[in-house]
Structure 1
Amino acid sequence: MKSKKYLLSFLYYMVAAFGISLTIKAAVGVSSFNSMNVAISELTKIEVGTITTLVNLLFLIACFFIEKNKKIPEYLFMIVSLVCFGSVINLFLYHLLFKVQVGSYFLSIIVFIVGTIIAGYGTGRSLYYGIL
């Protein structure tokens, strides 16, 4: 039963990554965290998903040193999830949606709203399982 919770949490986390990819692709504004990742990506020419992974790993390392009751298997699962999260963002932004052009501002807003809903849903469902 616990493995099912891990799998579902992971899958919903990947859904959230897809939603974030859409919000970035819409190019009308993103969350402050994602805007930082996009800005660093543009400055360094490193893909956004890779930057997202690196920044999230820094937070995870900080949590590891702060937390008193470290559960190593959970941290390992989170590391794998973070790497996959960034990889999913890169997959959609730089490969599957690369040639997709959002032609109008209205369409950009629609893509942004849909992406935000998908990201929020995926994040909410992932948090529901209390693993990631």
Structure 2
Amino acid sequence: MKSMLLKAIFYLVGIVIIAFGISLTIKADLGAGAWDALNVGLTESFGLTVGNWVIIIGALLIVSNALIAKERPDVLAVITILILGKVIDFWLLGALNTVAFSTFWEQLIILLSGIVAIAIGVALYLQSKFSLNPVDGFMVALQKRFGFSLTLSKTLTEAFALVGALILGGPIGFGTLVILIGIGPAIQFFDTKAQWAMNKLLS
């Protein structure tokens, strides 16, 4: 019971922190991550909020991931995208709605803070071993179906989102490259810390 409660806390706190980090990278206005830029582009082209597009795209990916991997849809991943989408809207439309950054250095600090927050959030939520974010599930589905390495699968999924974001005029820029280069090492760094924290609390 203690183990499950602890995993649920790591899962929920992790997703809230991820949503905060994503919101910071968008507000930095230097270029968002490929999938986030896609969601912003969809918002600007068709309306609805960024969080709603996170949910819609996530739902489509849950179905497509199941078809690609020839497995049952990960229905529990719906919980992940619902929480993530709603919390992103909370930050973008509420707490961070009127926040603006006037200089490049302010924007850069916010961008880097967002990357760190996303990495911490991902490291925490991964410890729960609950359902993956459908974007991560897309990567895993390609790896399972076609035997790609996870690195190639991740590159393909990011390229897919990047093309969509470019077509829709999403915020692709310098920050997109920084996120692409920096997010992996940052997650790796914090993952070991999150594992240690989880094991310490369980013991």
TM-score (norm 2): 0.58
**Could you tell which deviates more after superposition, 57-66 or 87-96?**
57-66
Matched residue, 2:38: 36
* 2:22 corresponds to which of 20, 23, 33: 20
**Helix, strand or coil for the counterpart of 2:52?**
helix
How far off is 1:49 after superposition? 1.1
Q: What's the C-alpha RMSD, in Å, of the aligned pairs?
A: 1.8
1:123 matches 2:122 = yes
| Contact 2:51–2:89 (8 Å) recurs in 1 | yes
1:53 matches 2:52 = no
| Contact 2:13–2:124 (8 Å) recurs in 1 | no
Matched residue, 1:75: 75
Matched residue, 2:85: 86
**Helix, strand or coil for the counterpart of 1:75?**
coil
How far off is 1:11 after superposition? 1.9
How far off is 1:62 after superposition? 2.3
Q: Which runs of 5+ in 1 are unaligned?
A: none
TM-score (norm 1): 0.86
* 1:4 corresponds to which of 3, 6, 14: 6
Percent sequence identity is 23
The number of residue pairs the alignment matches comes to: 128
How far off is 1:67 after superposition? 4.8
| Contact 2:25–2:115 (8 Å) recurs in 1 | yes
| Contact 2:15–2:83 (8 Å) recurs in 1 | no
Q: Which runs of 5+ in 2 are unaligned?
A: 132-203
1:100 matches 2:102 = no
The whole-number CA distance in structure 2 between the counterparts of 1:80 and 1:126 is 13
